[in-house]
Amino acid sequence: MRAWSERVRQDGARIAFVPTMGYFHEGHLALMRKAKELADKLVVSIFVNPIQFGPQEDFAAYPRDLNRDARLAEEIGVDVLFVPEAQKMYPSGFQTYVEVSELSKPLCGARRPGHFRGVATVCLKLFNIVKPHLAVFGLKDYQQFLVIRRLVEDLNLGIEIVGHPIVREEDGLAMSSRNTYLSPEERKSATCLYKALCLAQEKVKEGAREAPPLKKEIEAFILSYPYTRIDYVEFCHPETLEPVKEISSPTLLALAVFVGRARLIDNALIKPL
Ligand code: AMP
């Protein structure tokens, strides 16, 4: 991988990179198409990163289908599909981690201790191996996008980080490899995340400005759907992720909701008129 990248760079070509955990859906493919537009060569990685999963999380169950992914990547015109082995990424003796301290604390960071340390560490490793000029990240994982953008800035990596809008199913459900965990009944309930975001936007358009009562209303709305359990519903500043009490400027509404055993996340920038 390194030799290929060095050669391509020497030829003066620009490399775009899309890191993934595989089991591609239309969201991944949209990122790849975007990345292809922005550079001469496209590298996509598939790596289900063990160090970003907690001990009780779904690392073992995470869906994998390398043959199908390879076929889809080829159709898109991916130049290199990089699929490192966990043993190669974390050989015995591995002990260096990187942490983006403040942005990693709230939201998913609070619920998944060590998650963003794992994400930042693996992305730094992948960036060092792939040596991209730019990398595309989905805004579905909004906090991850901010963490990586900060990492790149703070450690002078000189990689352009491009955010891609959330790709959704027809009924609004954000695409995710984890949607495969949903039973047909749970799949119906899972639309409540997107509907909750729309409800919040509507209420704010109608003049609601105080976040705490709106948050309560949104939680009640989500819980009115069967199989749901709220992990968090938070209004926060879209750059710092600090909690917001008064929605007087564009505010991020971030959701994490268990539907059955699937932990789903979604978010939207809620704009007062
Ligand atoms: P994952 O394989 O889930 O780690 O995702 C790999 C990349 O695809 C990350 O940058 C995600 O944010 C992005 N991604 C996943 N699902 C979506 C989606 N529905 N819309 C946009 N980007 C997504």
63-90: average pLDDT: 98
Note whether residue 171 is domain-resident. Answer: no
Alpha carbon of 143 to ligand 1 centroid (Å):
12
Note whether residue 226 is domain-resident. Answer: yes
Domain count of the fold of the chain:
2
Dist CA 24 CA 68 (whole Å)? 8
pTM: 0.98
Q: Same domain, yes or no, for 158 and 238?
A: no
Kindly give the residue spans of alpha helices, DSSP state H, lying in the chain: 2-10, 26-38, 66-76, 86-89, 107-111, 115-130, 142-154, 184-189, 192-205, 211-223
**pLDDT, tens digit (0-9, with 9 covering 90-100), for 90-137:** 999 999 999 999 999 999 999 999 999 999 999 999 999 999 999 999
pLDDT for residue 270: 98
Backbone torsions φ then ψ of 269, nearest 5 degrees: -85, 115
Q: Same domain, yes or no, for 137 and 182?
A: no
Q: Is the pLDDT of residue 245 over 90?
A: yes
User: Domain limits at 228?
Assistant: 177-270
Percentage of residues in the chain with pLDDT exceeding 70?
100
231: CATH: 3.30.1300.10
Active site residues: 28
- E strand spans, 117-159: 134-138
Average predicted confidence (pLDDT) for the chain? 98
Dist CA 273 CA 270 (whole Å)? 10
Alpha carbon of 265 to ligand 1 centroid (Å):
11
Q: Is the pLDDT of residue 50 over 90?
A: yes
Q: Is the pLDDT of residue 273 over 90?
A: no
Residue 136, helix vs strand vs coil? strand
26: CATH: 3.40.50.620
Alpha carbon of 209 to ligand 1 centroid (Å):
31
Q: Same domain, yes or no, for 215 and 96?
A: no
- E strand spans, 113-168: 134-138, 160-164
Ligand 1 first shell, C-beta below 6 A: 20-21, 27-28, 31, 137-138, 140-141, 164, 166-167, 174-177
Note whether residue 227 is domain-resident. Answer: yes
